[in-house]
Amino acid sequence: MTIDEILDSIYFLPDTSKQLLKRHISKVTFKKGHILIHADKIEKSIYFIQKGIVRAYTTAADNQITFWFGKEGDTVISMKSYIQDQKGYEDIELLENSALYELKTDHLKELFNTDIHIANWGRVFAEQELIKTEERLISRQLGTAKERYKQLLKQSPDLIKRVQLGHIASYLGITQVSLSRIRAEKE
């Protein structure tokens, strides 16, 4: 995905505004295993995934809980850093060698005050993320782990191929052993 496709998919910007925004975006690559977002840091950048897959997790009582996966076209962000200038909850780790577009948020926040189109881009960006987060919250509350696994299989079959089982089990809120049992059931 190109950066234009990604930006346009959020909210259509007139060309002058888009150029202003793109001035602060650059392409970066990292290897599998790289930690892009650190739980104990106030992050100053957000990233759009051009190619690759990532997972966000919190570390609680010596085990990691995965609560989000991101792939091509998704935004990698520490919401706490971006919105409240505070340390976030999560580490975000690359699960594959990846290419990303980096946007420095200091510059973005200045543009919010001077360019109404970019302010609305920022509004719609937050709104889209909100809808996605709400969806995850509700689907998590609904149905059994088995149903949620089947749902995930249908919605993101590639995810299950690209990500190891332990992370997916954690995401579904069950243990790897339980997920393995669910998969073993026929029908």
Partner DNA sequence: TTCCATTCTTGACCTTTGTAAAAAAAAATC
Partner DNA sequence: GATTTTTTTTTACAAAGGTCAAGAATGGAA
Specify burial of residue 82 (Cβ count, 10 A radius: 0-12, 13-18, 19+): buried
Instruction: Please list, residue by residue across 57-80, b when 16 or more beta carbons sit within 10 angstroms of its beta carbon and e when fewer do.
Output: beeeeeebbbbbbbbeebbbbbeb
- Between residue 132 and residue 161, which ones bind a second copy under the rule CB under 8 A? 133-134, 136-138, 140-143
**Amino acid letter, residue 32:** K
x/- site string to a second copy, residues 70 to 109, per CB under 8 A? ---------xx-xxx----x--------------------
For DNA, give the closer residue by CB, 86 or 144.
144
- Which of DNA, a second copy, none lies near 183, with the C-beta cut-off 5 to 8 A by kind? DNA
- Which of a second copy, DNA, none lies near 109, with the C-beta cut-off 5 to 8 A by kind? none
For a second copy, give the closer residue by CB, 50 or 167.
167
Residue 68 corresponds to which tokens in the numbers above?
């989000």
For DNA, give the closer residue by CB, 64 or 120.
64
Give, in order, the Cα–Cα distances in Å from 40 to each of 70, 80, 120, 170, 184. Answer: 20, 11, 30, 21, 39
Q: Given candidates 1, 3, 79, 145, which one binds DNA under the rule CB under 7 A?
A: 145
- Between residue 63 and residue 122, which ones bind DNA under the rule CB under 7 A? none
- Which residues are CB-neighbours of 152 under 8 A, at least 6 positions away? 159, 160, 168, 172
User: Which positions touch a second copy (CB under 8 A)?
Assistant: 58, 60, 65, 67, 79-80, 82-84, 89, 112-113, 116, 119-120, 122-123, 126-131, 133-134, 136-138, 140-143, 173
User: Which positions touch DNA (CB under 7 A)?
Assistant: 144-146, 164-166, 173-184
